[in-house]
Amino acid sequence: MGKRITLSVIKADVGGLVGHTNVHPELLEKARGLLSGNPLVIDSYVTHVGDDINLIITHEAGRNNGEIHELAWNVFVACTEVAKKLKLYGAGQDLLADAFTGNIKGLGPGIAEMEFEERTSEPVVILMADKTEPGAWNLPLYKIFADPFNTPGLVIDPKMHCGFNFEVRDLIEDKKIIFSAPEEIYDMLVFIGAPGRYCIKRVFHKDTGDIAAVSSTQRLNLMAGRYIGKDDPVCIIRCQSGFPAVGEVLEPFAHPHLVSGWMRGSHCGPLMPVSVNDAHPTRFDGPPRVIALGFQLSEGKLVGPQDLFADPAFDRAREQANYIADYLRRHGPFEPHRLHLEEMEYTTMPLVMEKLKERFISMRQLRESKSAAGTT
Ligand code: F6R
Ligand code: MG
Ligand code: MG
């Protein structure tokens, strides 16, 4: 039997180069330096997507471990100092607390963690996105773990034929529910089709109960009680031998589905799969990006990564994403390109409404006064 390993992916935006587009290499170097050689850590890998730093850490301390969370917090604090020195944009923007308070959840950074016994061979894919929100994983996770048109393993692999259990979170009421796929997919879709509120948090193998996938589900804007930013999400997926093949995990991204985020967290746009080298959203602060890094775990060591979207097979998806971006952009300030009122992170509505409120005339009162006067 293999080692019990915890894989933690913890991310934060602590300053952008330039604006909200990218991370300065000095911040990445700082993070690498602080993680490597730390006695708690078996192995680590630091990367970025857009303006977010992603810390990928393996250890034996289990999920929700205060020391690991504190380590990540301290890394982000140290990176913030570098960002401040360089006057990078929005330095420290995701660190909402003045000090670490035991668990990184609720303090700003996003986190996805899973603990498992390392198999004889343990391939994992880590998805990381910028300029979108946790619900962006709903459609791909559904396709990967419940749709036989995406994942033939659900039909023809005896180790996957039983299906998967989905843990869905209600981010507004802070509740969770487990759905069993495929029997309950129609019920589940009622919820996960509304990704601004209901998010797939975890997926479990139905026969073994093993963890198959976990996503980050923090929503910064709700946590802070005021606008901070949509929380750019991460997701870990175990692959092969009873879990979806690497290619089944990547396949949904050949279709650049529409997600919320993009400019000012207030627009709908296509999620473009890119290599790490292209993970710097520029056009209209986007379009939203997703990267996928593949690792083989070996006694907790992160062997890799392979930059999985650095593949011409995803060129068509990128082309299509650009086409969709053109099409949506021509809607300018109109829905559905601009998000509906409740989903927008930036709005001047209360301000403009206050200014104009005296000029709004009640149609009911107008009708009543006309009918009292005998006119129509
Ligand atoms: C979206 C995002 C950017 C900013 C935009 C305005 O998630 O990060 O689109 O919202 O660049 O940024 P501020 O308000 O910082 O000028
Ligand atoms: Mg930013
Ligand atoms: Mg970001």
375 belongs to a structural domain = no
Which structural domain range is residue 224 located in? Answer: 4-359
Nearest CA to ligand 1 atom 14: 264
Our answer on whether the CB atom of 20 is closer than 6 Å to any ligand 1 atom is: yes
Q: pLDDT tens for residues 217-259?
A: 877 666 655 545 568 999 999 999 999 999 999 999 999 999 9
- Closest ligand (CA of 261): 1
369 domain-assigned:
no
For residue 62, tell me if it sits in a domain. Answer: yes
89 is catalytic: no
Is residue 13 flagged as an active site residue? Answer: yes
18 upstream amide cis, omega within 30 of 0: yes
Q: Is the peptide bond before 305 cis (omega within 30 degrees of 0)?
A: yes
Answer yes or no: 227 catalytic.
yes
CA of 151 to the centre of ligand 2 (A): 35
125 lines ligand 1 (CB under 6 A): no
* Residue whose CA is at the smallest distance from ligand 1 atom 3: 264
The residue annotated as part of the active site, out of 89, 105, 227, 278, is 227
Rounded-to-integer distance, Cα 120 and Cα 1, Å: 8
Output the pTM of the full model.
Answer: 0.96
Query: In this structure, what token pair is assigned to residue 11?
Result: 């991310």
Listed in sequence order, the residues at least 6 apart from 368 whose beta carbon sits closer than 8 Å to its beta carbon are none
Strand partners, 290: 129, 273
For the chain, residues with pLDDT lower than 70 are 1-2, 220-230, 376
Beta carbon of 289 within 6 Å of any ligand 1 atom: no
In the chain, the amino acid numbered 134 is P
Note whether residue 287 is domain-resident: yes
Any domain includes 167:
yes
Q: What is the 3-state secondary structure (H, E, C) of 182-217?
A: CCCHHHHHHHHCCCCCEEEEEEEECCCCCEEEEECC
Q: Which residue puts its alpha carbon closest to atom 15 of ligand 1?
A: 90
Is the residue at 114 inside a domain?
yes
User: Is residue 370 domain-resident?
Assistant: no
Which ligand is the nearest neighbour of the Cα of 130? 3
Ligand 2 center to 93 CA (angstroms): 7
Cβ partners under 8 Å of residue 369, min gap 6: none
CB-ligand 1 contact for 230 (6 Å cutoff) = yes
Q: Atom 16 (ligand 1): residue with closest C-alpha?
A: 19
How many domains is the chain built from?
A: 1
Does a structural domain hold residue 355?
yes
SS3 of 276-332: the string is HHHCCCCECCECCEEEEEEEEEECCEEEEEEECCCCHHHHHHHHHHHHHHHHHHCCC
Residue nearest to atom 13 of ligand 1 (CA): 264
Question: From the candidates 30, 230, 231, 232, which is the catalytic residue?
Answer: 230
Among candidate residues 11, 13, 30, 130, the one labeled active-site is 13
Q: Is the CB of 265 under 6 A from ligand 1?
A: yes
Contact 55, 67 (CB under 8 A): no
Q: Which of 322, 305, 313 is nearest to 271 (CA)?
A: 322
d(CA 213, CA 96): 27
